[in-house]
Amino acid sequence: MNYPSLFSPLKVGPYQLKHRVVLAPLTRMRAAKPSLAPRPLNAEYYAQRATPGGLLIAEASPVTATGFGSPGVPGIYTEQQVAGWREVVDAVHAKGGVIFLQLWHVGRVSHSSFQPGGVLPVAPSAVPIADLKTGTADGKAVAYETPRALETAEIPGVIDAYRQAAKNALKAGFDGVEVHGANGYLIEQFMQSHTNRRTDQYGGSIPNRVRFLLEVTKAVVEVWGANRVGVRLSPYGVANGSGEPDPMPLYSYAVEQLNPLGLAYLHFIEPRSSGAGRAEVNHQNVPSAMVLFRPIWKGVLISAGGFTGDAAEAAIRDGHADAIAFGRIFISNPDLPRRLQRGFPLTPYNRATFYGGDVAGYTDYPEHNELAQA
Ligand SMILES: Cc1cc2nc3c(=O)[nH]c(=O)nc-3n(C[C@H](O)[C@H](O)[C@H](O)COP(=O)(O)O)c2cc1C
């Protein structure tokens, strides 16, 4: 057997995991339309990747109708969506898996064609994403619009949407939730100085910019208890027009403030793979998030981004991380834990089928058939 550290048990909140190969949250845009509820195909996809005592983090799911920026993404704010997620959760539990849901609001990474009433997307400040194109609801590539800055009085309502979504996830039977504070979406827009030009208590100083992350996390914790809530961050990331000039003070403060909450885990995206959802990237000469923040974070640390089995084993063995989340290679290898453990070859992934569509590139990647190889 390969990788004794990766295949050792780990306690995450109340859950006793049997190994440390985690499914990273992966947007696949295959929910039912127009309900944006998960459908049986989605349950099959997650069940294929479930193992006894293995942690899956389900794809980012908008907490409210204004939180979308792409088509076919499942929501977690209607009864129908909760019922759809319940089937996903049941299918994963039937295989002994543990499943958390990632709670999402995209903020400015959207287009008015996705917004109720066709209004502008909301963000901390009216700062558009300058250098990237986005897609409209009918599939045209266009420049990002300038978002509308949230009024201070609106912010409690956005936090309430996260709280309600957390309740919905509980009702759907999930084992926990992950707050999506990464990749240039709403929470990170609040955190970072170039997207947050606010002059109220949510802007300016680092504590003010981190306030929204903490208020959202605490609202979710009120619903779930801290030991079933994780947070995902991407310091030094550049996805979706993000990027903080001097990340250490900002992210050190955020991690220090999250420490006393007693969360299930903190989940970092390694800067080398920032933006992997949009393109093949391998950023060079960038720091390692797990190495930088391990000494600051007191709880379970999950790292993601460009890991192979060897690199994952080394990270855990050397004490840099407690578990490793795999994205792209878990898409194309539904039996990834077994393949890594047994040293079976990996199937390459096909980026063309990452987003949208149906079975192809979703549930039709085969399990390794060792008998066929013999
Ligand atoms: C198709 C695709 C969809 C993704 N969707 C999400 C998402 O919903 N939430 C998130 O936090 N990260 C998302 N990511 C980032 C992955 O979780 C992960 O951090 C990244 O792919 C790097 O890990 P890897 O090198 O193992 O693929 C996505 C990446 C890909 C390739």
CB 45 within 8 A of CB 92: no
In angstroms, the CA 89 to CA 38 distance is 11
What is the reported pLDDT for 373?
56
In angstroms, the CA 121 to CA 106 distance is 9
CATH of the domain at 15: 3.20.20.70
Q: Is the pLDDT of residue 10 over 80?
A: yes
- Kindly give the distance from the C-alpha atom of residue 353 to the centroid of ligand 1, in angstroms, as a whole number: 14
Q: Which single residue is written with the structure tokens 């991407």?
A: 234
What are 71-109's pLDDT values in tens digits? 999 999 999 999 999 999 999 999 999 999 999 999 999
The mean pLDDT value for 341-369 works out to 97
The string of DSSP letters for 65-130 reads GGG--STT---SSSHHHHHHHHHHHHHHHHTT-EEEEEEE--TTSS-GGGSGGGPPPEESSS----
In a domain, 319, yes or no: yes
In a domain, 1, yes or no: no
Q: Please give the residue that has the higher pLDDT: either 370 or 357.
A: 357
Task: State whether residue 286 is helix, strand or coil.
Answer: coil
CB 84 within 8 A of CB 171: no
In a domain, 327, yes or no: yes
In a domain, 298, yes or no: yes
Q: Which residues pair with 58 in a beta bridge?
A: 101
Nearest CA to ligand 1 atom 4: 26
* Lining residues, ligand 1, CB within 6 Å: 24-27, 59-60, 102, 180, 182-183, 232, 269, 273, 276-277, 304-307, 326-328, 354
- Kindly give the distance from the C-alpha atom of residue 333 to the centroid of ligand 1, in angstroms, as a whole number: 15
H/E stretch holding 160 reads helix 155-171
In angstroms, the CA 243 to CA 237 distance is 6
What is the reported pLDDT for 1?
73
In a domain, 5, yes or no: no
What is the reported pLDDT for 23?
99
Nearest CA to ligand 1 atom 11: 25
In angstroms, the CA 47 to CA 50 distance is 5
In a domain, 179, yes or no: yes
- Kindly give the distance from the C-alpha atom of residue 276 to the centroid of ligand 1, in angstroms, as a whole number: 6
Structural Rg of the chain based on CA atoms: 19
For residue 348, the tally of other CB atoms under 10 A from its CB is: 11
Q: How confident is the model at residue 371 (pLDDT cuts 50, 70, 90)?
A: confident
Q: How confident is the model at residue 372 (pLDDT cuts 50, 70, 90)?
A: confident
Q: Is the pLDDT of residue 111 over 90?
A: yes
Angle at 95 between CA 220 and CA 88, to 5 degrees: 50
* Residues 6+ away with beta carbon under 8 Å from 150: 122, 123, 124, 158
Q: Which residues are catalytic?
A: 185
In a domain, 175, yes or no: yes
What are 140-193's pLDDT values in tens digits? 999 999 999 999 999 999 999 999 999 999 999 999 999 999 999 999 999 999
Calculate the dihedral angle through the C-alpha atoms of 257, 259, 260, 265, rounding to the nearest 10 degrees.
130
Nearest CA to ligand 1 atom 21: 327
In a domain, 4, yes or no: no
What is the reported pLDDT for 135?
95
Q: How confident is the model at residue 139 (pLDDT cuts 50, 70, 90)?
A: very high
Least confident interval from 48-62, 90-104, 215-229, 357-371: 357-371
Q: Which residue range is the domain that position 230 belongs to?
A: 10-373
Q: What is the mean pLDDT of the chain?
A: 97
Q: How confident is the model at residue 129 (pLDDT cuts 50, 70, 90)?
A: very high
Q: Can you state the angle between helices 206-224 and 155-171, rounded to 10 degrees? A: 30
The mean pLDDT value for 193-208 works out to 98
In angstroms, the CA 115 to CA 66 distance is 6
H/E stretch holding 195 reads none
Overall number of domains in the chain: 1
End-to-end CA distance of the chain: 18
Q: How confident is the model at residue 374 (pLDDT cuts 50, 70, 90)?
A: low
Q: State which ligand 1 atom lies nearest to the alpha carbon of 24.
A: 17
pTM score of the predicted model? 0.98
Of 107, 93, 102, give the one whose Cα is nearest residue 25: 102
Task: State whether residue 21 is helix, strand or coil.
Answer: strand
- Is residue 249 reached through a cis peptide bond, with omega within 30 degrees of 0 on the bond before it? no
Pocket test for ligand 1, best of 26, 273, 303, 324 (most atoms within 8 A of CB): 26
Q: Is the pLDDT of residue 370 over 90?
A: no
Nearest CA to ligand 1 atom 10: 25
The mean pLDDT value for 311-318 works out to 98
Q: State which ligand 1 atom lies nearest to the alpha carbon of 273.
A: 22
